[in-house]
């Protein structure tokens, strides 16, 4: 990032001159390129671009009934009406507030624990390294729904022990947020620890030795040498976690059948689900999805931007 990109031949060649090293081949080379890029382009088109385009299209329409509604709906073009409805809907704003609160606790907590564990694992003092890393990684292997159920039972009064042990009511109105953070932190810490640990293995040993020769202790080495070296990895993990937090869905959906405190629109993803599949309001669901995607994109861009500035 600190090095300027070398100027390419492309930019220095006089305008109009043929590009060197790229002889014309009467359309055959483009065909080969097309053939090679084809599968990817088709998949991208079919599974990403067309669905996004269709969601965008859907988000501009709404279904209108008339009278008693028994004659079936007809589609009406409403410009950005659905977007205005979603943004004006208190339930949607609450759901954004919920995931924001969730992310504020979950992201630093989970990444912090993962980083500390990875550093411990990387320091020579830990024995049984593989057993230890497997044990921490194991929750990630448990599917989200199963994890949600396990924890919901642990939280349930009369069945699980946690209701009596925790300082908060895990299924009560104010308790579901920390309860959810606990579930997802349990799930994702191991995964991120492995990523950090793998990155830590690539820190050059001579640099570490140099640090030791300079008199740095293990803590100092970890903080001033190891962490700065794997900073790009940390930021990538940060981006994924932030996006994952925004899209929080499975765990609250499972908890919903155990407590009414997780409302049907508790996260933006649940809001979309409720609008589409329970209220049958596809236009509004599509609009909310587009807003969610936009927010994810903006947040990721912001995090990447920050990371670029930091590592300079």
Partner 1 sequence: MAPHTDWSRRAFLRAASGSAALAAGGATLLSGCSSRTTASGATRVRIWSWMTGMDKYVAAFNAAQREVHVELSVIAAGLSGGYAQQTNAIRAHNAPDILHVEYQGLIQLLATGGLRELTEDLADLAEGYTPAAWQGVRPDGRTWAVPMDFAPMAFYYRKDLFDEHGIEVPRTWEEFRHTAEAVRQAAPGSRLTTFPLNDGSFFAGMSWGAGDPWWRIEGDTWLVDVAGEGTLRTAAYWQDLISAGLVQSAGTGTQDWISSIHSGRLWGLLGASWSVGTLKKSIPDDTGRWAIATMPVWDASAPANGVQGGTAFGISEESEVAEAALTFLRWLSTDPEVVRVGSEFTSPFPAWLPSREVAREVVPGDWFVGDPVYDVLDEAAARVPDWTWGPTSLGLFATLSDAFAEVTTGGTTLPDAVRRVQSSAVSDMRDRGLSVREGSPA
Q: Which of 46, 51, 53, 73 binds partner 1 (CB under 8 A)?
A: 73
Where does this chain touch partner 1 (CB under 8 A) — which range of 14-22, 131-139, 182-190, 258-266? 258-266
Q: Does 41 bind partner 1 (CB under 8 A)?
A: no
For Cα atoms 30, 32, 33, give the angle at the middle one, nearest 5 degrees.
Answer: 60
CA distance 114 to 99: 21
Q: What are the phi and psi torsion angles at 28 (to 5°)?
A: -80, -40
Contact (CB, 8 A) for 299 and 100: no
For 175, list phi and psi in degrees, rounded to 5. Answer: -95, -15
Q: How far apart are CA 189 and CA 110, in angstroms?
A: 6
165 binds partner 1 (CB under 8 A): no
Residue closer to partner 1, measured from CB, 85 or 122 = 85
> 75 forms bridges with which residues in the sheet?
63
Q: Is 280 in the site for partner 1 (CB under 8 A)?
A: yes
Q: How far is the CB of 261 from partner 1 (least distance, A)?
A: 5
Among 258, 286, 288, 290, binds partner 1 (CB under 8 A): 258
Q: Of 86 and 195, which has the nearer Cβ to partner 1?
A: 86
Task: Select from 262, 254, 282, 118 the least CA-distant residue to 190.
Answer: 118
65 contacts partner 1 (rule: CB under 8 A): yes
Q: Are 250 and 148 in contact (CB under 8 A)?
A: yes
191 or 258: whose CB is closer to partner 1? Answer: 258
Kindly state whether residue 29 participates in binding partner 1, applying the rule CB under 8 A: yes
Per-residue tokens: 120 = 């411990």
List residues binding partner 1 (CB under 8 A).
25, 28-29, 31-32, 35, 63-73, 85, 91, 153, 156-159, 172-174, 256-265, 274, 276-281
């Amino acid at each position: 990032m600190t090095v300027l990109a070398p100027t390419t031949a492309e930019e220095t060649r006089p305008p109009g001159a043929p590009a060197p090293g790229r002889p014309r081949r009467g359309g055959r080379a483009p065909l080969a390129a097309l053939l090679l890029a084809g599968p990817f382009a088709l998949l991208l088109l079919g599974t990403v671009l067309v669905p996004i385009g269709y969601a965008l299209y859907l988000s501009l329409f709404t279904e209108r009934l008339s009278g008693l509604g028994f004659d079936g709906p007809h589609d009406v073009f409403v410009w950005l009406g659905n977007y205005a409805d979603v943004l004006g809907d208190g339930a949607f704003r609450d759901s954004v507030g919920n995931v924001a609160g969730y992310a504020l606790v979950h992201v630093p907590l989970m990444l912090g624990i993962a980083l500390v564990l990875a550093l411990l694992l990387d320091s020579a003092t830990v024995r049984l390294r593989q057993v230890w890393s497997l044990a921490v990684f194991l929750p990630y292997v448990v599917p989200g729904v199963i994890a949600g159920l396990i924890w919901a039972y642990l939280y349930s009064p009369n069945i699980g022990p946690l209701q009596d042990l925790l300082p908060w009511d895990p299924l009560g109105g104010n308790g579901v947020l920390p309860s959810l953070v606990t579930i997802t932190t349990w799930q994702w810490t191991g995964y991120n620890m492995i990523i950090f640990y793998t990155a830590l293995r690539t820190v050059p040993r001579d640099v570490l030795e140099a640090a030791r020769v300079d008199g740095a202790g293990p803590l100092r080495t970890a903080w001033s040498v190891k962490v700065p070296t794997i900073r790009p990895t940390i930021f990538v993990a940060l981006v994924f976690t932030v996006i994952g937090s925004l899209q929080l869905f499975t765990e609250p959906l499972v908890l919903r059948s155990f407590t009414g405190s997780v409302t049907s629109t508790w996260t933006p993803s649940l809001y979309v689900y409720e609008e589409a599949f329970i209220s049958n309001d596809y236009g509004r669901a599509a609009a909310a999805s587009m807003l969610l995607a936009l927010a994810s994109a903006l947040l990721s861009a912001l995090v990447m931007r920050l990371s670029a500035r930091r590592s300079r």
